[in-house]
Amino acid sequence: MKISFLLHNAYGIGGTITTTFNLAGALAERHDVEIVSVLRHREHPNLTPDPRVRLRALVDLRTEADHPLHRRPARIFPAAEYRHHQYSELTDQRIGEHLAGLGADVVIGTRPGLNVHIARQAPRHVVRVGQEHLTLDNHSPRLRTALRRAYRHLDVITTVTEADAAAYRRTMWLPGVHVEALPNSVPDPVLPPADGSAKVVVAAGRLVRVKRYDLLIEAFAQVAAAHPDWQLRIYGKGEEQPALRELIERLGLWNNVFLMGAATPMEAEWVKASIGAAASNFEPFGMTIVEAMRCGLPVVSTDCPYGPGEIIQDGTDGCLVPVGGRDALATALLRLVGDDELRCRMGAAARENAHRFAPAPVVTQAERIIDQALTARATGRHAASGASRTGSPLTGRIHAARDTAHAAAAGALRAIRKGRR
C-alpha cells in the first residue's frame, strides 16, 4: 500500500512533525510511505526520518520566498487557520498539482488547512484521511464552519484523544465520515529505564504560557524547601524563558530549578530523572507525558483538557491534579519525592501502561482504519463512525464523564483567553 503524508514543514521542530515521523516510520515496515512537506526552509530536517520514508518539499523558502505568487494570500487554505499567513497562491498551486498527480492509495493530512486541501482536491479514488493534532474546541467558530463544509468530503478523521473524537461526532455532523481516536506513538526506548533513585524531576515542552511552567516552579519551591537535594529540570525553549528565569531568581531556586534548553531526543534526559511533571492549562494529547512514562517515570500532571486523563491512571502510574492547583501539584510531587517505594512502583506501572502508545499497537490501529476505509471505498459503503475498538466499556464510561467535565473546562479556558485578548 502506498501512503502519502502532507505536512506543513517537515524541517522544523514540533509535536506534529515528531508524531508524523514516528507513524510514517512504523508504517514503512510494511508499506511504501512518503512525507510531502509543503514548506522547506533549510537543507536538512531537524528530526531524522526513517530512511525508508521518502521526504520531499513543494515550496523551498530558501529560493522561493520572494516568488510573486507567494506574496498573494492563499485562497484554498482556510483564512481562519492559524498558519494561513504562511500560505499563498503558490502553496495553493503546488499542493493542488501534487494532489492531482498523487499515485498513493491513501493521503493523510496533518493539520486543518491541509485537510481542507485534501478534502477538496485529492482524487476520488484515493482514501482521504484528516488528522487533527489540536482539538475541536481549540478551533475558532469561523474555522469550525469552514471545516464542517470541507470535512464531509473526507473518508476518515482521526483525533488524538477519545474526548475530541466524541466532540467531532457530537457537534460537527459529518455523515459517512469515520471518526476515531488514534493516539500519538512514541518509539520504543533504547536506553535502560529510570530506576527511581535520581533526585530529579523533569518537564519538557515549549516554554509558552499555556504550559504553566511558572505554576510548576512555584509548586516545586515547596518541594525544594522540604527536600533541598532535589532538582527540577525544564527542557525546551520559547517566549516565556526570560519570565521563568526571573521567577527562579525571585524564589531563590537557582540551586534547584534549571532551564536546560531544548534537547532532541529527550530519552537520555528522561532516564536521568525519577519523576515527570506537566502543569498545562490545555493539552491536546501530552506527548511528553507518554515519553516520560515509556522511560519508567511516574508523571504528575494537571488533569487538563484533553490528553493527560486518557494517558495517566491516577494513583497507579502517576497523579492527576486540578488545573491551576499549585498546592495540589506540590502535594503530589512531595508524595512521590518522599516515598521511594511508591515512586518505583508507579514508575514500573507507567512503563507497562504506556506500552499502548508504542509504535506496534498504534500502527496496527492505523492500518485497520485505513483498511476499513479502502474496503468502504471499494464497496461503496461508508465505514461506521464510532469509538475506538481499543477501549473497554469502563473506559468508555470514564471518557464520557470526562468529556462533559473537559467540555466545561475548555469553555471556561476559551472565555479566559478571550478576556486576555
Res. 2: pLDDT tops 50: yes
Confidence (pLDDT) at 383: 54
Task: For residue 254, give the nearest of 299, 220, 301 by alpha carbon.
Answer: 220
- Domains parsed from the chain with CATH numbers: 2-185+361-379 (3.40.50.2000), 200-356 (3.40.50.2000)
Cβ count within 10 A of residue 27? 25
Res. 61: pLDDT tops 60: yes
Residues in the chain: 421
Higher-confidence position of 294 and 386 = 294
Q: Is the peptide bond before 265 cis (omega within 30 degrees of 0)?
A: yes
> Cell numbers at residue 404, please?
462533559
Burial of 109 (0-12, 13-18, 19+ CB in 10 A): buried
pLDDT tens, position by position, 262-301: 888 899 999 999 999 999 999 989 999 999 999 999 999 9
What is the share, in percent, of the chain residues with pLDDT greater than 90?
Answer: 83
Dihedral sign computed on CA atoms, order 9, 13, 19, 23: positive
pLDDT tens, position by position, 307-357: 999 999 999 999 999 999 999 999 999 999 999 999 999 999 999 999 999
> Cell numbers at residue 34, please?
512518503
Ramachandran angles phi, psi of 150, nearest 5°: -85, -40
